[in-house]
Amino acid sequence: MKDYYKILGVKRDASQDEIKKAYRLLALQYHPDRNDGDTTSEERFKLISESYIILGDAPKRNAYDYTQGNKSHYNGKNPSSSGKAAPVTFLILFKRIKTKVLNAGGYINEAALFKIIDDLLSEETIAILVNGSDVVTNNLILDEILVSCVFLPDESRYTIHEKLIKVADGDPRFIQKIAVLTKKTEKFLNQKAVETSSESESNKPAFFLFLLFILLILLMLL
């Protein structure tokens, strides 16, 4: 697995500004136009660009750190990436997340896993996947996400399900595949409905007592 921090020559706790500065210096140094088409420099430039696409964006960097077992060093902000990510970029990240989860031996931090997937499936990411019209890659991405979601609680699955429906963009084949996740959330939704109904029923006696109290007050004033 590529070490993007090493490629950019920055520490794992480097700030976004430090990463951007390192990228600009290296991109300037290895840009093909400055190296007379040297193939080695060109390949190096591609690696540098790939590294910045991942590390230059908070959700992608968090996902990468998660798969690498690195501690995230973000303050909660999600600056947009200056690089252009393609659907295959997200396929690689989601595949790594799935591999990390499957190799965890059952010891999975559900909250951390949900946050990684939820953050990575941002509105910006969804737009890239939909507008990219790469049906094959999007289909593979769905597979990776659905496997990872097996380890999430029902409420978290429901949130991811809503985002995946957007990625499906009306494609009946995708929607049918996502329905597997929907079935997992039906129990959660039904349970919520029952809880809401129970709360409503439990509040009825108190409501009627309140009305009775008001009527008694009115009768006393007559």
- Quick one: pLDDT at residue 208? 52
Same domain, 106 and 198: yes
What global pTM score does this model have?
0.61
Assigned domain for 104 exists: yes
Same domain, residue pair 98 and 158: yes
| Cα Rg of the chain, angstroms | 25
Is position 64 within any domain?
no
Q: Decide if pLDDT at 73 tops 50.
A: no
pLDDT digits (tens, 9 = 90+) for 4-38: 999 999 999 899 999 999 999 999 998 888 878 78
In the predicted structure, residue 76 carries a pLDDT above the cut 50: no
Q: What is the pLDDT of residue 134?
A: 84
pLDDT recorded at residue 2: 82
Enumerate residues 6+ apart whose C-beta is below 8 A from 50: 2, 4
Q: Are 149 and 185 in contact (CB under 8 A)?
A: no
User: Is 175 among the domain residues?
Assistant: yes
Res 79: pLDDT: 37
Residue owning tokens 């039906």: 186
Give the number of domains in the chain.
2
Task: Give tens-digit pLDDT for 80-97.
Answer: 344 557 888 898 899 889
pLDDT at 124 over 70: yes
Answer yes or no: do 37 and 98 share one domain: no
Predicted local distance difference test score (pLDDT) of residue 38: 83
Q: How far apart are CA 9 and CA 18, in angstroms?
A: 10
